[in-house]
Structure formats: C-alpha cells, structure tokens
Structure 1
Amino acid sequence: MHVTEAPIVPPTRRDLAGPALKAFFNIAERWQLTADQERRLLGNPGRSTYFRWKRDRAGAVTGDVLERISYLLGIYKALHILFPDDAQADAWVRRPNTAPPFGGAPALERMLGGHVADLYVVREYLDAQRGWN
C-alpha cells in the first residue's frame, strides 16, 4: 500500500492575522502602550480598522503589518531572554538608553519612528546583545 503525503501548504496572511494581532495586543498591554503608540507601531492603520483589530483580535492585515508585528515579537522575545525578570524586560523599552541606536532616548521612541526600519534597528541591537549577530 502506497501512502501519499499531503503537500505542506504555507500559512497565508489570513491564517497569521489573528494570532499576530492577539500577540501584538498582549505585548502592547505588557508595555502599557497608548492607542496612538499601538497604531504607530502597526503602521498607522485607520482608526476604525485599528479599533476593530483591537476588539476582535482578527481581521485582514497587510504584509507590512505582519512584518511589523514579527519584529515586535522578536524584540519582546529577546528582552525576555536577556532579562529573566518579566517586569524588567517589559520596562526596558521605556528606559533611557545610551547605546548608539538610541542616543539616550528610550528604545520605544525609536520604535515609534514610523518606519519598519526603526523596528529592525531595535531588533538587531537586541539580537547583538544576545550574541546572535
């Protein structure tokens, strides 16, 4: 008897949207972000779209939104690896930081710059601190 394996189908944006939004809003709560900060991190979606995502933890999202959330998940994970205390890890984004990418400002300020590259810089910095670069 010959068994045929089902082909592996990669998840679609639609498949990833709900889990990504749920994770994002959980992180936003831990970081005590305002609605305006959350919208900026998500790339400034329309207010009605943002509030629908926040209420439902689901909805259609763009590739840009998924990329942003992916960087934020990486930042969150790296912080919780670097700092064993959850409160310390979550507070890091708000503490002034003299490292070159931040110039004395908190990492959150850099992350709120509006560009995906701002999230990338923070993620790369934390990966380097973990020894992943």
Structure 2
Amino acid sequence: MPVAARIRQPVQVNAVALKAYARVVDAWALSLKEAAALADMSESTWKRARKPDFTGELTKDQLLRLSAVIGTYKSLELYFSEPLARGWFTRPNTGPLFGGQRPVDTAIEGGLPQILAIRTYLDALRGGA
C-alpha cells in the first residue's frame, strides 16, 4: 500500500485501538475471518495485529473502522441489556439497514460507509431520534 495512503499516528494510538477492537471481537464472538474483514485486514495481518507487540501501521480507513465498531459496541451496551447487546451485531435483523441479514455481514459487505451508517442508526436509537 502506498505510504501516502497511510496515516502517521503514534504506535500507541494503534495499540489502544487494536486492543479495544480485539475486546469487541471477543465480546461479539466474531470469527477470525469476520474480525479481519470488518477491520479491512487480511486474516494473517489481524492475527499479528492482535499481539501487544504489533508495530504495523493502520490506514486511515482501518483506524476509522476500528473507531466506528468500538462506538457501535458502546452504543449497544448502553441501549440494550447484556445478552441482546452482545448478540445484536451477529443476529439477523429486519431493520431497514439490514434487509434480514446480520449487521456484521452488511458491515463487511458495505465497508466503512455501512459501518458508519450502523453507528449512526444506533446513536439515533439511543438518542430517541
């Protein structure tokens, strides 16, 4: 990937984002394949990125994805009780954004725009809008 496409941020920012994202992945019981695809990484990169000593760079898109997924997790935890909050992202949903698919599948398929749409949708539910 061209260097210009990468965002230059401290390794510490990446480490914090990856650690939080890994916790969300575990809480939602996402597969290796799902977690990697949601973060727009190869499975081998995600395996390396999970380790505390990972020093690779994240693209702006990847960092935004991690941030939006973490925000989605927070919204779900605030809006729903624990069993539903933990399972919502991986259960089929008939809402307008999902068409009967699992939110995780639509997020992977739709990329960052869909991930942000899901985050906005949940924030609106939480805010009563």
Identity %: 31
Q: Is the 8 A contact 2:89 2:103 kept in 1?
A: yes
Q: Following TM superposition, by how much is the alpha carbon of 1:13 offset from its aligned partner in structure 2, in angstroms? A: 4.3
User: What is the aligned length?
Assistant: 121
Q: Normalization by structure 1: what TM-score?
A: 0.81
Deviations 1:37-66 (A, max 9, x none): 0110111x2443222112336332222111
- Structure 2: gaps spanning 5 or more residues: 1-7
Among candidates 117, 123, 126, match of residue 127 of structure 1: 123
Q: Normalization by structure 2: what TM-score?
A: 0.83
Confirm or deny that 1:99 pairs with 2:90: no
Q: Is the 8 A contact 1:13 1:63 kept in 2?
A: no
Among candidates 42, 49, 52, match of residue 48 of structure 2: 52
User: What CA RMSD, in Å, does the superposition of the two structures yield over aligned residues?
Assistant: 2.0
Among candidates 3, 12, 22, match of residue 25 of structure 1: 22
Equivalent residue runs for 1:1-133 within 5 Å: 12-43=9-40, 45-56=41-52, 58-59=54-55, 60-83=57-80, 85-131=81-127
CA distance in 1, matches of 2:36, 2:92: 22
Deviations 1:21-80 (A, max 9, x none): 00011100111111110110111x244322211233633222211100010011001001
Q: Following TM superposition, by how much is the alpha carbon of 1:118 offset from its aligned partner in structure 2, in angstroms? A: 1.4
